[in-house]
Amino acid sequence: MTDAVSFGAYRPLSLDSVVAYLRSRSESADLLDLTADLSVREVGDGNLNLVFQVAERDRPSRSLLVKQALPYVRVAGEGWPLSTRRAHYEARSLRRFFESAPDFVPRPFWHDDVMALSVMENLREHRVVRGLLNERRVLPGLGEAMGRFLAATLFDTSDFALPSDEKRRLVGDFDNPELCRITEDLVFTEPFSEAAERNRFNDLVANDVRDLQGDESLRAHAARLKLTFLTSAQALLHGDLHTGSVMSLGDDHRVIDSEFAFVGPMGFDLGLFLANLLLSACAHEVRTEHRAARAEFRSYLLQEGRSMWSTFEADFRERLAKAESPSWNSPAFQDAFLQGVLRDTVGFAGCEMIRRTVGFAHVSDLDGIENPEARAVAERLALTLGRTLMLEAQGVSTFDDALRLMRW
Ligand code: SR1
Ligand code: MG
């Protein structure tokens, strides 16, 4: 009898045990008819976790999502252990984001610390943005939604909104050392080091990679960005905001997968999303055969990047204008602060583009291009653009300056 199963200690769920788990939790009763015939699908396509969709077979709109951390990196296997505590950071950040931006995340139901899992709204008809962009789909309002989500969540968790004692507690609550270390290594260190063993890249771009890794000026910028990542505690970040961390249905866009959440530099979230739009544009240089269609989609992606920034900036300024402490209402301070965030955004975007081409964790936009020669064309573009963004970030004052760097 499934109800007798005990979940008093961590164990990974399976297609067979997930329903028994739900039946053992009283919270489930409000969300699903637990006596009904339930369907279970494992839909995790990320690098780390198990994700189950559970639905009533006769009324599939009655469904929920169970996300559980495995004690290792799923894509690497048990040889790369990783504590399940990341589920704790994800659950707590999702709750915070839901408070600040309820329209832009799935609704959280409950979190089980022992089982390292969260149960949340199942976005059953939404699709992951990366896949949609690979299909060259136009997603209405994507950039604007990201700008709104980021302005709300970053402002509400910054020193502009929180009393300093609360802010200091937030930094401690989201120390997230293991996942921050993954980012530190995979984004800022390894791609710029010839000796890093986890780097993987197309043989056909090996010379480009050697050239990039030998560029002392670029390495200095990577070090500066890494230090900013390590030391700038501006706000609670999503921490891994690429296009695989957003799901869309029409004009409804939701941010998922915040297990990398920590208190860091605002430009990191903005930069990752921007970089992943640009990676899509690079990929379409070979994925899309027709020149006009290619140019149209590139300009659409850049437009979404611009819209993310301009929405973020306008919303953030509005919030700053209402900040309680008079310290923050100097217009000169506000301009300088946002310019700093923009420069970080551009620099982090460059780093992300390079690491997705050279480092351990790639993206399907590029890796999905089967022909290695064609793929190399897109990868070279990503490397060139990433390098330019990293080298020129500090000279950018407006988003239009940044756009001028994104031409090819
Ligand atoms: C070992 S985890 C590799 C990558 O997957 C996550 O989504 C992060 O982007 C991380 O860098
Ligand atoms: Mg993820």
pLDDT exceeds cutoff 80 at 7: no
- Predicted pLDDT of residue 99: 98
- Give yes or no for a contact between 208 and 385, defined as CB atoms under 8 angstroms apart: no
Q: What is the distance between the alpha carbons of residues 215 and 201, in angstroms, rounded to a whole number?
A: 18
**Sole residue written with tokens 């609550």:** 173
- How far is the C-alpha of 227 from the C-alpha of 66, rounded, in Å? 35
Beta carbons of 13 and 22 less than 8 angstroms apart: no
Q: Which residue CA neighbors atom 9 of ligand 1 most closely?
A: 240
| pLDDT at residue 4 greater than cutoff 70 | no
Where does ligand 1 bind, in terms of residues with CB under 6 Å? 46-48, 73, 182-183, 186, 240, 361
Provide the mean pLDDT of the chain. 96
Ligand 1 atom nearest to 244, measured from its CA: 7
Atom of ligand 1 nearest to the CA of 47: 5
Identify the residue with better confidence: 162 or 30.
162
- Minimal-distance CA residue to ligand 1 atom 6: 47
pLDDT at 408: 82
- Quote the pLDDT of residue 5: 55
Q: Which atom of ligand 1 is nearest to the CA of 183?
A: 11
Q: Is the pLDDT of residue 396 over 60?
A: yes
Neighbours of ion ligand 2 (CB under 5 A): 46, 257
Which residue type does 269 have? D
Q: Are strands 127-128 and 246-249 parallel, antiparallel or unpaired?
A: antiparallel
Give nearest CA residue, ligand 1 atom 1.
Answer: 73
How many CB atoms lie under 10 A from the CB of residue 284? 23
- What is residue 184's DSSP assignment? I
Q: Work out the percent of the chain whose per-residue pLDDT is above 90.
A: 95
141 Cα–ligand 1 center, Å: 26
> Does residue 358 register a pLDDT over 50?
yes
> Quick check: 329 and 321 in contact, CB under 8 A?
yes
**pTM recorded for the entire structure:** 0.97
pLDDT band at residue 283 using 50, 70 and 90 as cut-offs: very high
Residue 123's nearest CA partner among 79, 204, 61 is 61
* The pLDDT of residue 1 is above 80: no
Residue the block writes with tokens 């240089």:
285
Q: What are the Cα distances from residue 187, in Å, to 46, 190, 356, 375? A: 17, 7, 8, 21
Q: Kindly give the residue spans of alpha helices, DSSP state H, lying in 174-237.
A: 177-183, 206-213, 216-231
Beta pairing partners, 50 = 68
Predicted pLDDT at 45: 85
What letter would DSSP give residue 185? I
CA 407 to chain centre: 24
pLDDT per position as a tens digit, 67-97 = 999 999 999 999 999 999 999 999 999 999 9
Using most ligand atoms within 8 A of CB, pick from 75, 83, 182, 237 the residue to mutate for ligand 1. Answer: 182
Measuring CA to CA, how many Å separate 198 from each of 112, 131, 140, 233?
A: 33, 25, 37, 28
Average pLDDT rounded to a whole number, residues 358-366: 98
Whole-number pLDDT of residue 6: 63
What's the rounded Cα separation, in Å, for the pair 175 and 400?
35
Helix axes 266-287, 142-156, angle to 10 degrees: 160
Q: Nearest residue CA, atom 3 of ligand 1?
A: 361
Atom 8 (ligand 1): residue with closest C-alpha?
Answer: 240
Domains plus CATH for the chain? 4-120 (3.30.200.20), 127-405 (3.90.1200.10)
pLDDT for 2 equals 36
241: confidence class by pLDDT, cuts 50, 70, 90 = very high
Confidence band (pLDDT; 50, 70, 90) for 3?
very low
Best CA proximity match to 236, nearest among 260, 255, 263, 259: 263
Alpha-carbon torsion, ordered 26, 258, 254, 235, to 10 deg: 120
- Give the pLDDT score at 46: 83
Query: What is d(CA 21, CA 404) in angstroms, rounded to the nearest whole number?
Result: 53
Query: What pLDDT is recorded for position 381?
Result: 98
User: Does the pLDDT of residue 120 top 60, yes or no?
Assistant: yes
pLDDT for 47 equals 85
Q: Cβ(245)–Cβ(94) under 8 Å?
A: no
Residues 36-45: what's their mean pLDDT?
A: 94
CA-nearest residue for atom 11, ligand 1, is 183
Q: Predicted confidence band at 153 (pLDDT cuts at 50, 70, 90)? A: very high
Atom of ligand 1 nearest to the CA of 80: 1
